[in-house]
Structure 1
Amino acid sequence: MTGETMTMKTERVNIRTIAVTGMLGALATILMFLEFPIPMLIPPFIKFDFSELPALLAAYAMGPVSGIAVCFIKNVINLLHSQTGGVGELSNFILGVCFVLPAGLIYKKKKTQKNALIGAFAGAVLMAVVSVFSNYFIVYPVYTNFMPMSAILSAYQAINSNVSNLWDALIWFNMPFTFVKGLCSVVITFLIYKRVSPILKGTGR
C-alpha cells in the first residue's frame, strides 16, 4: 500500500468519524430534549434522559474523544434554550465526560466485553460522585437565584423528611439517581452495541 493510498484511507476514516460523531451528537441532543420527571423518587425539577447513550456508543466505537465531542455537541445546542444560564449544560458536560472518558479509555486499552463493562461501571460511579460536587458548587448556587434554598429542600423533604441540608439531598437523591441513569445507558449499550458497531465504524456489509 502506497503512502498516498494510506493517506486517502486515513482521511476517509477521519471524515467518517467526524460525521458519525456529529450524528450521534444530534441524537444525544434529541434525547436530551425528551427528558422526563420520575415522580415520588426524585424532585420534579430533576429530569431523567438517555442522552449519555449516544456518547457512550461513540466512546466505544470511535474512542473517548468522540464520546466527549458528543457530550459537547448536545450541550452547546441545548444552550440555545437554556433555562439555567448555561450552568446546567456545563454540569451536564462535566458529568458526561466523567462517564464516557473512563469507559472509552479502559475499553480502548483492551477491547473486550469485560473491559467495556468495567469502564462503563467506573464511569457511572465517577459521574455519580462528581454530580454531588457539580450540583453543590455549580448548579444550585445559580438555581437559588430563581428558587429559594428552602423551597429546593422542601421538594426533597416531600420525598424524604430526613433531608436536612443540601449535602443530604445530593448524596441521598442525586448521586444514586445519576448512577442509575448511567447504568441505564450501559445496559442499553450492551444490548445494542454489537448490532450498531459495524454501522458506526463503517465496517458493515
Structure 2
Amino acid sequence: MLFNFITLFPERIHSFFQTGVPGKAIEKKIIQINTIQLRDFAGNKHNRIDDTIYGGGPGMLLQVGPIYRALESLGDKKGHVVLLSAAGETFQQSTAEAMQSQYDKITFISGYYEGVDARVSEHLIDREVALGNYVISSGDIAAICVADCISRLIPGYLGRFSSLQEESHNLENVLEYPQYTKPREFMGWTVPEVLVDGNHKEINVWREANRRTQNIE
C-alpha cells in the first residue's frame, strides 16, 4: 500500500516509519511512504501557504491553492484522499479495516494552525477524520496514527497473524485482558496464580472474565 503525506514537516513522517515494524515493512515493500512538502506548491516567492481568515478570527488557515496543486502533482498515485481534522468523523478500527480493504493508495492532508480553507473539504477530499474528541497541534500526528492502524491490517506487516487476531479492538468495545511477564513477583506485586499454573483451559476462562471494556462516553 502507498501512503502519501502532504505535510509541512516530512521529517516527522520519515522519522516514525524508518524504524521498528514500519521500517521492516518498507524494506519488504509491504508499504510505501511518500511525503509531499506543501511549501513546494505555495506558488509565491515567500513560499507562503497560509493566510488570515475571511470575516475575522484568530489564527491562520492553510490555503486551498497549495493543497490543490500538491494533490494534482500526485496524478494517479493520489488514491483515496483523507483530511485530518477535528471536525471529521471519529476514526475507528472499523474505519481502518474498510480503508485497508478498499484502497491501495491513500493520501493524507495534515492540518495546522486553525485548520484549512473549507473548500478543501468541500471539493478536494474523499474523507475527513479525527482521532477523537480533542485537539492536537498537528495533523501529522493524526496522519501517522491512521496510517499505522491501517498498515497493521496488511498481510505480512505483523510477524504473527495471531497477534492481529487477539489484539485490542477486534471485538466491539472489548479490549485485551491484563497480561504479565517475568519476574513473577516485583515489589510485592504478584502475577495471578492461574496464569502460572499451566492449565490452559482455566487461563482462557480467566482471560475472558478479565477482558476490559472500552470507555466510549
* Same fold? TM cut 0.5: no
Which TM-score applies when normalising by structure 2? 0.28
Greater strand content:
2
Which TM-score applies when normalising by structure 1? 0.29
Greater helix content:
1
Q: Which has the larger radius of gyration?
A: 2
